[in-house]
Amino acid sequence: MAVRNLRYEGDEILSKRCREVTVIDDRIRGLLADMADTMYSTGNGAGLAACQVGVLKRLVVIDMGDGLKKLVNPVIVETKGLQRCTEGCLSFPNRYGKTARPRVVTVRALDENGREFMMTGEGELAKCLCHELDHLDGIVFTQKVYEWCE
């Protein structure tokens, strides 16, 4: 598909709440494909929210090395435990900080064909899910940092 321009720190779109997707059509599927292409083009991205490419839709793509996951209207339905994390973000290049995130996260979402599914992530995947879903509510990881990394 296409690599889209990333939005960076200071862009007001990153602080806005994304709107629910009401119709999953070829435009949404194309956007999800573009988001995946954009994430893969960075060389170090594990996830990307639609607002990071300038679109206020509740869409996320994630690939932690076990295949691409496309999430439409994702919602966290359960969390367990706590983990200390080191986080970065494609929209905040070369900035890393320590955060506290749930150790296990279960998410309900729709796939690119409108079918509901559940997924549970532990460790790094749980962190990634929380990070990307925060983006959908206008929350960036810098708001969660309790200590900055050098």
* Residue 131, annotated as binding a ligand: yes
CA–CA distance, 81 with 110 (Å, rounded to integer) = 25
Block residue for tokens 């119709």: 23
Q: Which residue from 15, 22, 117 is spatially nearest to 75, judged by alpha carbons?
A: 117
Which of 9, 122, 132, 147 is labelled catalytic?
A: 132
Q: Residue 78 catalytic?
A: no
Q: Which residues contact 127 (CB under 8 A, 6 or more apart)?
A: 83, 85, 87, 99, 101
Q: What are the residue numbers of the active site?
A: 132
- Residues annotated within a binding site: 89, 131, 135
- Residues annotated within a binding site for Fe cation: 89, 131, 135
